[in-house]
Structure 1
């Protein structure tokens, strides 16, 4: 949490960060993961309290959660491409990777990810009775969008998207690898960065084993449905979203510098607070 706060503070306060496409993409990755973790945690907590949701409320959560889940791998692919351009086309990097183009790409990322859920919403609005939206159900995508064709469309969409993302990562890694053999340390650092993106993508893909794990454990322990869903959601969905931005941010020298400054400030602040507290206690006891 501390690192996320520092990251957001650095990017929005420092002009240097605001004009660097890689940092803009990184903060988009962090904010996107915050949105996803907030929604997932809210759904899990409310599930413990009220168990079922009104269908319209669950649908509203899904409209934001599904795109946020898909934005992560697409952002990682774009970050890998930015590294590839910086290493293989250093003279044209400033022209290709501009701030304006970065924001346009982020807009396209949200537009593409929205195509995974918005058509499902329109199909549900057109085919379901009005009473269905006011009924209560367990907040799962499969239970809200009940048409069999929707499930097939979701599988095909995710498969095509993941294939494109993996091709981008593999292609950029090998192009940077060949460049790094006879280039500077920056190229080798970029190669390691793409490897880190691959590791982050593997963590984010744990989302796709959420349902099989939940169903398997529920069949084994049918009386622990809520506990299983909560534990699986934390391990599969939340933990990878916390680990990947944290590792990437600490690895970056600029963010690491701000992190050290922030931690030293908090340490001095705590020492000062303790000093004044002891002085106040000493005066009170006199």
Structure 2
């Protein structure tokens, strides 16, 4: 009876996760559609990076959800396929916080260096930054996988396994290296966000009138980026906690992974639509116009 109850609860948890992921994916796809509706959005740096985070989050949510389902049903897949999924998930894991850091710098330039904003934050600069973001995000994968490939033989790739990030850590020191790289990345991101926060705070106190309102709004955006990064930082420790729990009990491992997934994976990624999708006036007007089938088309043209 207890085993049946546990199975029911597990199924309920899985259904809840599927509901939230479906909801977030629908919202993200809707916002991406709105992004491509108006050339104003895909020629403005902050909206370009907003769309990049949405796309990265969509890929991350779908792939991580697949891994979660495989874990729940204890379904094994070939190691080589698991490796490809790991690369994609790991890349998207870093793209979001790195992009948030770049978006924070864009707000810093817009508020603290308004005369140079057009020059430094042009569409061409945005495209160059996207390449840099992907290169920086891929670097931990290159380092970690180079070490992994050097420590395993070919027969390892022909095995079938329960796919998770922990299986690629064959030695304790590999986990330490991955942890050190991730913590270095997040330390740099935190420093950049804190620097931007205090600089914008200084400008906000000196501003007046409409400029003051705009500056404080930018400051709140930086704070929300910082909170997202804080949640992503906690996500860094999840694999190590899960790896320790896995040695104790598979059932406990599944429950802990479910909790971590909801709090540290879903939560920070549901904030992106809020920060730039609903709080941004121009984007909100475009979204409302699209949802209401063009009822506000005239208002959208006037406001954009």
Shorter-chain TM-score range: 0.7 to 0.9
Of 184-193 and 36-45, deviating more is 184-193
- In structure 1, distance between residues paired with 2:243 and 2:81: 24
- In structure 1, distance between residues paired with 2:53 and 2:126: 13
1:215–1:143 CA distance, 2 compared to 1 (3 A): closer
Q: State whether residues 90 and 141 of structure 2, in contact with CA within 8 Å, keep that contact through their aligned partners in structure 1.
A: yes
- In structure 1, distance between residues paired with 2:202 and 2:255: 48
- In structure 1, distance between residues paired with 2:126 and 2:217: 22
- In structure 2, distance between residues paired with 1:14 and 1:259: 11
Of 182-191 and 234-243, deviating more is 234-243
Determine whether 1:100 maps to 2:124: yes
Q: TM-score normalized by structure 1?
A: 0.84
After the TM superposition, list the runs of 4 or more consecutive aligned residues in structure 1 that deviate by more than 4 angstroms: 215-222
- The aligned counterpart of 1:175 is 199
Cα displacement (A) at 1:227:
4.5
Q: Pick the structure with greater CA Rg.
A: 1
Determine whether 1:134 maps to 2:162: no
Q: State whether residues 206 and 237 of structure 1, in contact with CA within 8 Å, keep that contact through their aligned partners in structure 2.
A: no
Determine whether 1:197 maps to 2:221: no
Tell me the C-alpha RMSD between the 2 structures.
2.4
- The aligned counterpart of 1:75 is 99
Of 127-136 and 2-11, deviating more is 2-11
5 Å-filtered alignment, 1:80-229, equals 80-183=104-207, 184=211, 185-211=213-239, 213-214=241-242, 222-229=250-257
Cα displacement (A) at 1:191:
1.1
- The aligned counterpart of 1:8 is 32
1:246–1:19 CA distance, 2 compared to 1 (3 A): same
- The aligned counterpart of 1:18 is 42
The aligned length equals 267
Cα displacement (A) at 1:18:
1.2
- Unaligned stretches of 5+ residues in structure 2: 1-24, 296-304
- Give the structure, 1 or 2, with the largest relative contact order (CA under 8 Å, sep 6 or more): 1
Q: State whether residues 6 and 258 of structure 1, in contact with CA within 8 Å, keep that contact through their aligned partners in structure 2.
A: no
Q: State whether residues 176 and 187 of structure 1, in contact with CA within 8 Å, keep that contact through their aligned partners in structure 2.
A: yes
Q: Indicate the SS of the match to 1:13.
A: coil
- Unaligned stretches of 5+ residues in structure 1: 268-286
Of 140-149 and 188-197, deviating more is 140-149
